[in-house]
Amino acid sequence: AQSVSQHNHHVILSEAASLELGCNYSYGGTVNLFWYVQYPGQHLQLLLKYFSGDPLVKGIKGFEAEFIKSKFSFNLRKPSVQWSDTAEYFCASGGSARQLTFGSGTQLTVLP
Amino acid sequence: DTAVSQTPKYLVTQMGNDKSIKCEQNLGHDTMYWYKQDSKKFLKIMFSYNNKELIINETVPNRFSPKSPDKAHLNLHINSLELGDSAVYFCASSQGDEVGQPQHFGDGTRLSIL
């Protein structure tokens, strides 16, 4: 069975700090990898996705993620966070959309 | 225009009742999903459905049943509600289940069981 691990449950940063959220997946076959963001009281929105090609993926709002196959990782990064980035971030993986498995989420709090 | 819409947004009801949550998508997608997000924000797939096949997560009690009157709708019916059903339920859709297709989510329905 697939699983996705997000080891950081809550991250607190000051504005302009750099961000890296960890995500590890376990799946032996082809994977799709996603990062979703859930702003307070809102639905999940797709930040970025990877399914093939360049392992460094650029997403919306200045986010990027790097797929490292040897480490089964797909960490999310942003060089300089803003207060508006405060949200819950979910990593997800799947061999197809139907098999999408989410991690437990990381709450990011950015202090002004 | 809202792409994936769920109603109601909030639902408060008593144990033992039967309730439904509606979901509609106007994206022309052919696959829809229901997820349950618990109090710890953990998201778990409950069902995925397209016009060919319903896939049920085996851990979902049979009190939960999806109903799809057409490709744009996937409603969730819950019978004999229990305290543990309290959660936020998200509907989502995607175009097929090919590799790389992202899912679009609704705003969620917060279900509280008294």
Asked if A96 has any chain B CB less than 8 Å from its own CB, the reply is: yes
Burial readout A47-65 (b: 16 or more C-beta within 10 A, e: otherwise): bbbbbeeeeebebeeebbb
Give the tens place of pLDDT for each residue, B9-64.
999 999 999 999 999 999 999 889 999 998 888 888 898 888 767 877 778 899 99
Q: Which domains, from first to last, does chain A contain?
A: 3-111 (2.60.40.10)
Q: Which two tokens stand for residue A93?
A: 């993986």
Yes or no, beta carbons of A102 and B43 under 8 Å apart: yes
Yes or no, beta carbons of B31 and A90 under 8 Å apart: no
Yes or no, beta carbons of B31 and A98 under 8 Å apart: yes
pLDDT in tens, chain A (112 residues): 678 999 889 999 999 999 999 999 986 666 789 999 999 888 889 999 998 889 999 999 999 999 998 999 999 999 999 999 999 999 998 766 566 788 999 999 999 9
**Which residues neighbour A15 within 8 Å (Cβ) at sequence distance 6 or greater?**
A80, A81, A82, A83, A110, A111, A112
- Cβ atoms of residues B75 and B68 within 8 Å: yes
* % of chain B surpassing 90 pLDDT: 60
- Cβ atoms of residues A84 and A69 within 8 Å: no
From residue A26, alpha-carbon distances to A48, A54, B75 in Å are: 19, 20, 32
Question: Which CATH architecture group holds B4-113?
Answer: Sandwich (2.60)
What pLDDT does A65 receive? Answer: 97
Q: How far is A102 from chain B (nearest CA, A)?
A: 6
What pLDDT does A97 receive? Answer: 55
Element of type H or E holding A31: none
Q: Does position B99 have pLDDT exceeding 90, yes or no?
A: no
Which chain B positions have a beta carbon within 8 Å of A32's beta carbon?
A: 99-101
Which chain B positions have a beta carbon within 8 Å of A44's beta carbon?
A: 43, 90, 92, 105
